[in-house]
Amino acid sequence: MSRDHVPSAERPTGDPEATSYGAEAPFLELLARGASADAYEQPVLLARAQDRPAEWVAALEHAKLLALRVRSELEGRRRREAELSALFETAHDLAGLRDLDAVLQAIVQRARSLLGTDVAYLSLNDPDRGDTYMRVTEGSVAARFQQLRLGMGEGLGGLVAQTARPYVTDDYFRDDRFQHTATIDAGVRDEGLVAILGVPLMLGHHVIGVLFAADRRARVFEREQIALLGSFAALAAAAIDTANLLTETRSALAGLERANEIIRDRSAVIERASDVHDRLAELVLRGGGVHDVAAAVSEVLDGTVEFTDVTAAPAQALEAFRTEGHAVRHEDDWIAAVAAGGELFGALVLRGHPGLDPVDQRTLERAAMVTSLLLLARRSAAEAEQRVRGELLDDLLDARDRDPRLLRERASRLHADLDATHVVLAARLDGPAADADQEADARRRLWSAASHLAATRHGLAAARDGGTVLLLPLDAGHTATDLARRTARQLGTAVHEAVTVGASAPVEDLTARPDAVAGAYEEGRRCLDALRLLGRTGDGAAAEDFGFLGLLLAGDRDIGGFVDRTIGQVVAYDERRGTELLRTLDAYFACGMSPARTKDALHVHVNTVAQRLERVGRLLGDDWQTPSRALEIQLALRLHRLATPIRK
């Protein structure tokens, strides 16, 4: 059946609402199928050909106009979505800037693609020569054009560079608003350009270049297209600025290295720092704690030193410490990370002491090292408590006939309240592991971080199913989603890898309901699997975040029965015959139910697609492509993927 096929509408019954519904029905189907604009005339033409009543034809005309308006709005939204996606991808490239030329080339390519022009190019100003020169081109075929240099005010680009305003011309050679020169006109003529749009690249109030989009035919650029090119110009300017900053940063780092060499040559300075370290070590051996170390360093540095948790310390400063290995200044404070073996415990913060001598800076760094040793020495005791917490959570998950009174007493000794509202969270690492040993080490670090978090939040944690399960109390005014995202962020920061967390709905009366924790854990695992399948690794979510799909993820739902009733015959057929009907269905719906686009997506012949869809029709029934059936089938396909175990 053709995508533009228009079903015949029922004859009006006299009921105005029925007449309106009958007139709208064929256009709704056309909207659902993504038909072309010409197809919307067919219901009206058919009604006139069948000599339908005038009010019926008028109703069809009205419905057609509404449907075309909706179609236009949908197309506009798709176009805006593509523009935003391109801007996001470009911003992502900029965030990971390694090669300036590659980023600028990507900006020019995407600008050309979205505006649908023949050529796009970018020029940069040369302060030394007082002109602007071609830096990046896309779609250009003329060598002379690619080597053009434009004086300020010369040509359209020179005018943009001089005035810092966008300019557009639908016919370059007939436009006398800018100065034509023989060299520039020859280059433009070689390229065959007619319509040109140029927008300035701005850093603050200064123009550093121009971004262009041009066609080899007359064309009027719309306001939205000018704004879009301006957005790309802003990203290009940011990329150039970032590259300049990176160069300056490398130069600054080189200067710091030279300064460190001088410091290392000062033996007296090193001896003083060593003496301070010995004093701190002695303090620890006498049984001092983390805050005792902070107090001792405060006395030595004549300031206020505090130990802070990872979440309370500035993330940028901690990362800078990990990169450079030295205490870093953050506003008026100095920060030294407390870390060991790649694990981050927190930070020592020297408050309100912006002018720090290199010797004192080294003292703060040594204090952070001693603090990390102290925390490692005390970890064994903490791990014993963690095992106790894990055993209690294991009993809640597995031993459902335990005495509620005993469970409460055990929880009370761990400062946990099982009568409070809790959320069960399933957490798993998503970073790649080089070998089994590294994977096991990563899981141990995740369990350790989760246990520490559970202890500080008066909850429980245990290792299970290759990941970690946590039982944390839910604070008033917060949701399971808030807790899942915060937990994913905290665990990820602690282990320096992406951690994905799926959360259950809030549960109460844990001791009175023996199966509450086990059921909530299964719900959290389903949300975790859904996040990983949807590519949202490193994130946290609860069932409530998945819309109507969350209703199936949460609680006891017969998902398998729904999938089996909807596409079970296709699944069974693929399993018996080794065919790819399910994959073809996925691609068919993803391509807007277009066999032509489906065959391109699958890299097969269109006849192969037709044969597979014919087989699907025989298995599912002739009405499988109707809107209601198609929706059910797409949902079943998604649930089938969610229910399929993820292969590592």
How is the chain split among helix, strand and coil, in percent rounded to 5? 60, 15, 25
- Residues 6 or more apart from 625 whose CB is under 8 A from it? 1, 593, 617
Give the Cα separation of 206 and 628 in Å (integer). 57
Q: What is the largest CA-CA distance in the chain?
A: 105
Strand blocks (E) in 154-220: 167-169, 195-203, 206-215
Q: Is the dihedral of CA 502, 503, 504, 508 positive or negative?
A: positive
Q: Which CATH architecture has domain 97-249?
A: 2-Layer Sandwich (3.30)
3-class DSSP state of 459: coil
Give the Cα separation of 13 and 439 in Å (integer). 69
Per-residue confidence (pLDDT) for residue 386, from 0 to 100: 55
Whole-angstrom CA distances from 358 to 17, 257, 363 are: 83, 13, 9
Give the Cα separation of 400 and 228 in Å (integer). 60
Residues in the chain: 648
The torsion of the CA quartet 141, 147, 152, 158, rounded to 10 degrees, works out to 10
6: tokens are 């228009």
Question: Top-level CATH class of 287-381?
Answer: alpha beta
Per-residue confidence (pLDDT) for residue 384, from 0 to 100: 52
Give the Cα separation of 512 and 525 in Å (integer). 23
Q: Is the dihedral of CA 144, 146, 147, 151 positive or negative?
A: positive
3-class DSSP state of 128: coil
Nearest to 210 by CA among 135, 103, 116: 135
Per-residue confidence (pLDDT) for residue 383, from 0 to 100: 55
579: tokens are 């065919």
Report the Cα 536 to chain-centroid distance in Å.
Answer: 7
Nearest to 307 by CA among 277, 349, 279, 337: 349
- Can you give the three-state secondary structure of 384-426, one letter per residue? HHHHHHHHHHHHHHHCCCCCHHHHHHHHHHCCCCCCCCEEEEE
Burial 444-472 (b: 16+ CB within 10 A, else e): ebbbbbbbbbbbebebbbbbbeebbbbbb
388: tokens are 């106790």
What is the phi/psi pair of residue 534, to 5°? Answer: -85, 5
Per-residue confidence (pLDDT) for residue 136, from 0 to 100: 92
The torsion of the CA quartet 524, 526, 527, 533, rounded to 10 degrees, works out to 150
For the chain, the domains span: 25-78, 97-249, 287-381, 402-553, 559-643
Give the Cα separation of 161 and 138 in Å (integer). 20
What is the phi/psi pair of residue 617, to 5°? Answer: -60, -40
DSSP string, 487-538: HHHHHHHHHTS-EEEEEPPPB--TTTSTTHHHHHHHHHHHHHHHHHHTT-TT
Element (H, E) at 216: none
Burial 40-59 (b: 16+ CB within 10 A, else e): bebbbebbeeeebeeebbeb
Q: Edge-to-edge strand order for the sheet containing 131-138? A: 149-151, 131-138, 119-126, 206-215, 195-203, 167-169
Residue 538's identity, in one-letter code, is: G
Q: Edge-to-edge strand order for the sheet containing 540-542? A: 460-464, 467-473, 422-429, 499-503, 540-542
Nearest to 646 by CA among 428, 499, 440, 462: 428
Same CATH topology for 97-249 and 402-553: the answer is no
CATH code for 402-553? 3.30.70
Give the Cα separation of 498 and 501 in Å (integer). 10
Give the Cα separation of 428 and 495 in Å (integer). 12
Whole-angstrom CA distances from 421 to 490, 491, 508, 537, 622 are: 21, 22, 5, 27, 50
Give the Cα separation of 62 and 405 in Å (integer). 70
**What number of CA atoms fall less than 13 Å from residue 322's CA on the CB side?**
18
Angle among Cα 101, 104, 110 to the nearest 5 degrees reads 135
Per-residue confidence (pLDDT) for residue 17, from 0 to 100: 44
Give the Cα separation of 494 and 453 in Å (integer). 10
3-class DSSP state of 139: coil
pLDDT beneath 70: ranges in the chain: 1-22, 72, 74-98, 259, 262-277, 281, 284-287, 341-342, 377-390, 399-402, 433-434, 514, 544, 546-559, 561-562, 644-648
What pTM was estimated for this model as a whole?
0.35
Per-residue confidence (pLDDT) for residue 442, from 0 to 100: 83
Give the Cα separation of 188 and 410 in Å (integer). 82
Per-residue confidence (pLDDT) for residue 159, from 0 to 100: 87
